[in-house]
């Protein structure tokens, strides 16, 4: 006989908010007339995400497990849930932009119509929108928030699927260049399924070795120096599954193709929120379940961090498409984040957790900002993401160029931007744990990566504008709000990071 | 002791002109109409305040007031509190700077009346006064350094005030760069003090300098001297000062005669406790002073440019002051008295020269002057008094102060005392020669004016300051030596003056110096006054004259010793940078780009190869973990 576990509804409120909004969204699709769906869905998704954000903030200070120990409601979970909810809300705003595309949305009118068919061409200029993206995104956000709170490998796996499946779908919903978008979705799905299989197999091995799927039980069953092959293999496969989601090299190969093919607001969403969720899970898995056996995974993370930083930075150098370039940048940033993961410290006292959380927040904000700018610059065929099209942009649109410059400088980690605060936090954590050679590599990789960020700035400011260059659209209210918030935060977190650093420092304690 | 009353407000001395500069620079064209009046008012107000502060200081028992302002730098061990020190030494400088500064501001109202950028001129002058006051009032070497760089900046801006003239721009750069050489010395001296003593305040440094090794103290002394030589135009860094005459004449009078160039003398006098322990450094001060005194005087004999002659005269007179402060306790007071007197008569002479230029369409060529005494009576009278004061005519300023220096030198009582005294006496003769030559060529003889020149006396706003300075030139020496002795006033700083046994009776010295001076005047009359002055300089001249015309080849020496090797060094470095550093950087970039292109080929776009890659990665991860646990 199975007993129903006790649920603390208050502690689950953020999840209930966003997943509830997603469920209601499905009903809206069924019952609300088509013309009214877009505003209703946007409002609903915003209520869900902002509600989740507010409730996580109200819950701050909670330190407990619920649902029979399957879910942790602790500082890191709440901090990362708030980050995901906030970044999710900004992404929803980008989804809702109606002013930039001539057809009033970045999403396809009807996803089921084959690309290139006569019906598809008919619908190209129609202002109809596939409004399912909002509930889908809400489900994905809900899954991510569950992912970072999962205190149980099975819940973690379920959350992984809940966040992944909607993402696969919305990647294929671009209005322009539909085939590219659909190809990206299929690739993401196939490789994601492959990675999920790794994760699931790892889960099975760990269960076989320890007889439990609870993170705490796994720690107590523990690696007591004897070298339990089954458990170690399980750990390896779990990590592979998570590194895939975090687009860490060598599990990053999907990233450039998917980032390029997906609709840009979706790319922003994936790049920011998935990264937060994946690293939340990595941190919880490594710190809670395997924190006492740091010696097993430390060399691995060390090596993977170096590979990821170098691959991301070096491959980014020769990219000619901005979205692909940012994809490799995301791979390099995953490597920088792993340097923070190494800052666990004896007894978990290191500043690695706080540093990584800060990095995730600033990286998410900057990334959403930079992709939001990308949606503004367009030619007849959608977004003008080829580098050469950005030449001389500053002469035509100084404000856009200035905002883009700010975000690129932040991604490069230049002081007085949020990016510097994040990099400083993770590098300090790594150095405190004696990983200075890794930090040296990270700094060199940052220098290499700075080249391709600065190249865009140089191109915008010091090149002659191209003759039939792209137009810079006037953003509507949603995108303007997103740009204002992300740009302000990028500057504020760079100049006065104290408050958020303190917050992350206080939140950096896992339950269990 | 902590300052009270007005002395506590002595920071206003600096703040007033600084505020003036800020208003004039930030206010832009809106302040054009009244900017010069504001600029003058701030300096006059500062002068009034300085007088009041000094009167209050005279009434104190301790005659020294500390004004704590705020924490300037706190970084690790380094803790610099910004504060002021108002003591007798800084008081006389504050009075000189604001007093002469006020007169020159007033004069400039007339002199710059037709310059469209007059407001900017007054802004820079105010900036200079503020920086110079910070230099002399600061209570630490760091504060002095800030002021030191501030006056350097103001000097640069003012020399290049007419920056569209290539000569002015070049001269400003030359001044700035040569000053950098000296400033490096000063900066390193401060670093050494901090590294060795942990403090840079005067009180802290002077209190504990005795604990240092002799070599270190000598090093500090020599480095300070390098700084002083740069700022004061002393050998081997004297070549910038004559070129600095490209600036407007009031600038030459205020900055490059009366105040800024005497900052080196201030630095050495202020650092007396350091030099007391570093006899070697002090001997070098003496040597530099004596050498520069002669170099300046010889070069002054050969130039035809009225301002350049005065500039070399300044170089030479500051040489006297260095000689004096190099003599140690016996000479400090004499040197500072000469500094003050020189401030009056040299500023007056420059203002007179400015008045002459004003009358002669801005010409500076003395060969095209002559017979101006009738046309410019006030200028002639005031300039003449300044001239007499400078050459040491009995009972005028220079007579008292220069004789005091010669006395102090002879009082050393050794061979070197005789040598230095002899040099100083010889210098007095040379001074009389070149100054008489200048007087004869400018005011006497036949009029050799260029066509279209109609000399006229300057307006009252210009002549009034000249008159005041002329009065000072006449009376200052007597006042400072006999009536209101400077030695008593400076006693809290340098201690009680020792009553030296005179080697030669002062009366005899006075007589000898006067005779030598008269010989110089006579020689000038024989060589210049008796004959017709050719309007173009003769080409066939003796090697001595040629050397003097080239300022004893100072520029050539500088160029071959510093500039050429510097250029070679930079060329070598550029070559190294292009071939070596750039090669490495470009090679690295090309290498990374190539790697990137090759790596990018793995990004085939096929899901099967991506999956293969992931599988390979997973195998590696699992293998690595197993290896770690097994090993």
CA distance B602 to B146: 60
Q: Is the pLDDT of residue B284 over 60?
A: yes
Q: Which residues of A touch B630 (CB under 8 A)?
A: 227
CA distance B420 to B334: 15
> CB under 8 Å to B533, separation ≥6 — which residues?
B367, B370, B441, B445, B446, B448
Buried b (16+ CB within 10 A) or exposed e, B163-175: eeeeebeebbebb
Q: Write the burial class of residue B66 (CB in 10 Å: 0-12 exposed, 13-18 middle, 19+ buried).
A: middle
pLDDT of residue B217: 92
Q: Per residue of chain A (512 residues), what is the pLDDT tens digit?
A: 677 788 888 889 999 999 999 999 999 999 999 889 999 999 999 999 999 999 999 998 888 888 888 999 999 999 999 999 999 999 999 999 988 888 888 888 888 888 888 888 888 778 788 889 999 999 999 999 999 999 999 999 999 999 999 999 999 998 888 899 999 999 999 999 999 999 999 999 999 888 889 998 888 887 665 558 888 899 999 999 999 999 998 999 999 999 999 999 999 999 999 999 999 999 999 999 888 888 889 999 999 999 999 999 999 999 999 999 999 999 999 999 999 999 887 777 788 999 999 999 999 999 999 999 999 998 877 888 898 889 988 988 899 999 999 999 999 999 899 999 999 999 999 999 989 999 999 999 999 999 999 999 999 999 888 887 888 888 999 999 999 999 999 999 998 888 888 888 888 888 86
Beta-carbon separation of A250 and B614 below 8 A: yes
Q: Which residues of B touch A235 (CB under 8 A)?
A: 625
CA distance A441 to chain B (A): 15
DSSP annotation of B3 reads -
Buried b (16+ CB within 10 A) or exposed e, B328-345: bbbbbbbbbbbbbbbbbb
Beta-carbon separation of A250 and B616 below 8 A: yes
Enumerate residues 150 to 189 of chain A having a beta carbon within 8 A of any beta carbon in chain B.
186-187
Total count of residues recorded for chain B: 631
A254 CB within 8 Å of a chain B CB = yes
Beta-carbon separation of B629 and A232 below 8 A: yes
Beta-carbon separation of A187 and B607 below 8 A: yes
Tokens of B355: 């008045």
Q: Which of A439-453, B185-199, B356-370 has the lowest mean pLDDT?
A: B356-370
Q: Which residues of B touch A303 (CB under 8 A)?
A: 624
Q: Which H or E element spans position B72?
A: strand B65-75
| B621 → closest Cβ in A228, A257, A300 | A300
Query: Which tens digits make up the pLDDT trace of B514-550?
Result: 999 999 989 888 888 777 777 777 777 778 778 777 7
Beta-carbon separation of B599 and A300 below 8 A: no
Query: Which tens digits make up the pLDDT trace of B164-178?
Result: 889 899 899 989 988
| A236 → closest Cβ in B611, B613, B621 | B621
Beta-carbon separation of A317 and B596 below 8 A: yes
CA distance B593 to chain A (A): 6
pLDDT of residue B500: 63
pLDDT of residue B497: 67
pLDDT of residue A184: 94
Query: Are the beta carbons of B442 and B369 closer than 8 angstroms?
Result: yes
Per-residue pLDDT, averaged over B582-611, amounts to 86
| A191 → closest Cβ in B607, B622, B630 | B607
CA distance B3 to B307: 42
Q: Which residues of A touch B596 (CB under 8 A)?
A: 314-318
> CB under 8 Å to A323, separation ≥6 — which residues?
A259, A260, A264, A267, A374, A385
* B198 Rama sector, left if φ>0, alpha if ψ -120 to 50, beta otherwise: left
Q: What is the pTM of this model?
A: 0.66
pLDDT tier, B269 (very low <50, low <70, confident <90, very high otherwise): very high
Residue pairs between chains A and B whose CB atoms are closer than 8 Å: 89
Query: Which tens digits make up the pLDDT trace of B488-517?
Result: 788 888 877 666 677 778 888 888 889 999
- The CA distances from residue B205 to A301, A334, B189, B280, in Å, are 54, 54, 12, 19
Total count of residues recorded for chain A: 512
CA distance B75 to chain A (A): 20
DSSP letters spanning A129-186: --TTHHHHHHHHHHHHHHHHHB-BHHHHHHHHHHHHHHHHHHHT-BSSSHHHHHHHHH
Beta-carbon separation of A240 and B597 below 8 A: no
A16 CB within 8 Å of a chain B CB = no
Per-residue pLDDT, averaged over B190-205, amounts to 89
| A191 → closest Cβ in B592, B599, B610 | B610
Closest C-alpha among B520, B342, B341, B345 to residue B428: B520
> CB under 8 Å to A426, separation ≥6 — which residues?
A336, A337, A339, A340, A343, A352, A355, A356, A358, A359
Query: Which tens digits make up the pLDDT trace of B96-144?
Result: 999 999 999 999 998 888 888 889 999 999 999 999 999 999 989 999 9
Interface pTM (ipTM) of the complex? Answer: 0.90
Residue of chain B minimizing CA distance to A195: B614
Beta-carbon separation of A304 and B613 below 8 A: no
Beta-carbon separation of B614 and A232 below 8 A: no
Closest C-alpha among A137, A424, A90, A83 to residue A283: A83
CA distance A356 to A275: 11
CA distance B584 to chain A (A): 15
pLDDT of residue B554: 76
Residue of chain A minimizing CA distance to B602: A253
Q: Which residues of B touch A228 (CB under 8 A)?
A: 629
Q: Which residues of A touch B586 (CB under 8 A)?
A: none
CA distance B578 to chain A (A): 20
pLDDT of residue B302: 85
Please report, in angstroms and rounded to a whole number, the separation of the first and last CA atoms in chain A: 26
Residue of chain A minimizing CA distance to B598: A315
pLDDT tier, B2 (very low <50, low <70, confident <90, very high otherwise): confident
Residue of chain A minimizing CA distance to B589: A448
Provide the mean pLDDT of chain B: 87
How far is it between the farthest Cα atoms of chain B?
Answer: 110
| A253 → closest Cβ in B596, B613, B620 | B613
Query: Which tens digits make up the pLDDT trace of B31-76?
Result: 888 888 999 999 999 999 999 998 888 888 777 888 887 776 666 6
Residues of B with CB under 8 A from a CB of A: 589, 592-593, 595-597, 599-600, 602-603, 605, 607, 609-611, 613-614, 616-618, 620-622, 624-626, 628-630
């Amino acid at each position: 006989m199975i007993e129903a576990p006790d649920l603390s509804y208050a502690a689950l409120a953020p999840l209930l908010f966003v997943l509830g909004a997603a469920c209601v969204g499905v009903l809206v699709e069924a019952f609300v007339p088509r013309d009214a769906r877009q505003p209703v869905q946007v409002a609903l998704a915003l209520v869900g995400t902002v509600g989740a954000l507010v409730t996580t903030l109200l819950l701050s200070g909670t330190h407990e497990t619920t649902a029979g120990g399957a879910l942790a409601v602790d500082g890191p979970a709440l901090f990362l849930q708030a980050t995901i909810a906030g970044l999710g809300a900004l992404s929803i705003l980008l989804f809702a932009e109606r002013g930039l595309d001539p057809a009033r949305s970045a999403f396809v009118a009807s996803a089921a119509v084959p690309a290139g068919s006569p019906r598809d061409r008919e619908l190209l200029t129609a202002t109809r929108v596939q409004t399912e993206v909002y509930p889908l995104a809400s489900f994905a956000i809900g899954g991510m928030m569950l992912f970072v709170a999962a205190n149980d490998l099975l819940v973690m796996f379920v959350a992984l699927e809940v966040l992944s499946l909607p993402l696969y779908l919305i990647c294929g919903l671009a209005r322009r260049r539909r085939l590219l978008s659909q190809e990206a979705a299929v690739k993401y799905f196939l490789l994601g399924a492959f990675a999920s299989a790794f994760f699931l197999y790892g889960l099975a091995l760990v269960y076989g070795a320890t007889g439990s799927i609870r993170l705490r039980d796994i720690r107590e069953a523990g690696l007591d120096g004897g070298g339990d092959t089954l458990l170690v293999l399980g750990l390896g496969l779990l990590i592979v599954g998570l590194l895939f989601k975090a687009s860490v090299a060598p599990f990053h190969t999907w990233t450039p193709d998917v980032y390029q093919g997906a609709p840009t607001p979706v790319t922003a969403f994936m790049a920011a929120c998935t990264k937060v969720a994946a690293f939340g899970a990595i941190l919880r898995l490594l710190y809670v379940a395997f924190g006492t056996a740091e010696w097993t995974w430390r060399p691995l993370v060390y090596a993977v961090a170096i590979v990821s930083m170098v691959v991301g930075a070096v491959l980014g150098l020769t990219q000619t498409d901005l979205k692909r370039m940012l994809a490799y940048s995301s791979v390099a940033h995953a490597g920088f984040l792993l340097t923070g993961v190494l800052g666990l410290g004896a007894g978990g006292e290191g500043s690695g957790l706080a540093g990584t959380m800060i990095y995730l927040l600033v990286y998410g904000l900057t990334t959403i900002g930079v992709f939001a700018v990308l949606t503004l610059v367009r030619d007849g065929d959608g977004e003008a993401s080829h580098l050469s099209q950005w030449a001389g942009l500053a002469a035509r649109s100084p404000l856009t160029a200035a905002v883009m410059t700010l975000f690129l400088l932040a991604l490069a980690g230049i002081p007085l931007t949020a990016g510097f605060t994040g990099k400083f936090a993770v590098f300090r954590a790594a150095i405190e744990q004696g990983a200075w050679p890794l930090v040296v590599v990270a700094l060199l990789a940052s220098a290499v990566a700075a080249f391709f960020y600065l190249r865009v700035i140089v191109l915008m400011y010091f090149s002659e504008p191209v003759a039939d260059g792209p137009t810079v659209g006037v953003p509507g209210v949603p995108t303007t709000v997103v740009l204002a918030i992300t740009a302000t935060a990028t500057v504020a977190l760079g100049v006065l990071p104290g408050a958020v650093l303190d917050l992350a420092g206080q939140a950096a304690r896992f339950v269990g | 002791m902590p300052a009270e009353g007005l002395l506590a407000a002595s920071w206003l001395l600096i703040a007033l002109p600084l505020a003036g500069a800020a208003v004039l620079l930030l206010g832009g064209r809106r302040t054009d109409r009244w900017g010069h009046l504001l600029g003058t008012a701030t300096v006059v107000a500062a002068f009034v305040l300085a007088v009041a502060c000094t009167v209050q200081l005279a009434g104190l028992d301790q005659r020294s007031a500390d004004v704590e302002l705020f924490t300037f730098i706190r970084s690790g061990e380094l803790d610099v509190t910004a504060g002021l020190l108002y003591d007798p030494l800084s008081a006389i400088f504050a009075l000189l700077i604001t007093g002469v500064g006020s007169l020159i501001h007033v004069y400039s109202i007339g002199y710059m009346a037709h310059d469209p950028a007059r407001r900017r001129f007054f802004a820079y002058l105010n900036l200079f006064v503020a920086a110079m006051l910070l230099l002399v009032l600061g209570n630490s070497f760091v504060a002095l350094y800030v002021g030191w760089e501030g006056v350097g900046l103001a000097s640069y801006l003012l020399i290049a005030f007419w920056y569209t003239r290539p000569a002015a721009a070049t001269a400003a750069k030359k001044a700035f760069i040569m000053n950098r050489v000296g400033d490096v010395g000063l900066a390193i001296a401060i670093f050494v003090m901090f590294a060795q003593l942990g403090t840079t305040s005067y009180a802290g440094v002077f209190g504990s300098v005795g604990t240092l090794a002799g070599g270190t103290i000598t090093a500090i002394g020599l480095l300070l001297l390098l700084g002083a030589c740069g700022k004061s135009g002393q050998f081997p860094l004297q070549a910038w000062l004559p070129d600095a005459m490209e600036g407007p004449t009031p600038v030459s009078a205020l900055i490059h005669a009366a105040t800024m160039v005497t900052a080196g003398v201030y630095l050495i006098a202020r650092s007396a406790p350091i030099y007391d322990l570093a006899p070697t450094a002090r001997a070098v001060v003496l040597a530099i002073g004596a050498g520069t005194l002669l170099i300046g005087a010889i070069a002054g004999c050969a130039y035809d440019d009225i301002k350049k002659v005065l500039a070399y005269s300044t170089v030479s007179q500051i040489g006297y002051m260095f000689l004096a402060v190099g003599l140690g306790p016996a000479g400090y007071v004499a040197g500072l008295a000469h500094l003050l007197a020189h401030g009056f008569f040299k500023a007056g002479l420059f203002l007179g020269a400015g008045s002459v230029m004003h009358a002669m369409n801005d010409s500076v060529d003395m060969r095209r002057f002559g017979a101006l005494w009738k046309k410019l009576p006030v200028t002639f009278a005031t300039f003449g008094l300044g001239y007499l004061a400078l050459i040491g005519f009995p009972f005028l300023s220079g007579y008292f102060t220069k004789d005091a220096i010669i006395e102090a030198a002879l009082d050393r009582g050794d061979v070197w005392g005789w040598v230095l005294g002899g040099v100083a006496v010889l210098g007095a003769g040379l001074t009389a020669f070149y100054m008489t030559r200048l007087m004869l060529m400018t005011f006497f003889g036949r009029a050799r004016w260029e066509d279209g020149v109609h000399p006229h006396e300057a307006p009252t706003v210009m002549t009034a300051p000249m008159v005041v300075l002329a009065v000072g030139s006449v009376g200052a020496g007597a006042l400072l030596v006999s009536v209101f002795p400077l030695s008593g006033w400076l006693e809290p700083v340098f201690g009680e003056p020792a009553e030296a046994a005179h080697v030669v009776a002062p009366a005899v010295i006075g007589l000898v110096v006067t005779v030598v001076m008269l010989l110089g005047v006579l020689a000038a009359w024989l060589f210049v006054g008796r004959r017709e002055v050719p309007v173009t300089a003769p080409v066939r001249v003796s090697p001595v004259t040629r050397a003097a015309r080239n300022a004893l080849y100072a520029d050539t020496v500088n160029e071959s010793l510093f500039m050429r090797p510097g250029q070679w060094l930079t060329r070598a470095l550029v070559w190294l940078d292009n071939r070596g550093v750039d090669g490495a950087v470009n090679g690295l970039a090309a290498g990374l780009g190539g790697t990137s292109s090759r790596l990018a080929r793995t990004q085939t776009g096929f899901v099967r190869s991506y999956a293969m890659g992931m599988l390979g990665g997973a195998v590696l991860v699992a293998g690595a973990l197993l290896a770690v646990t097994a090993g």
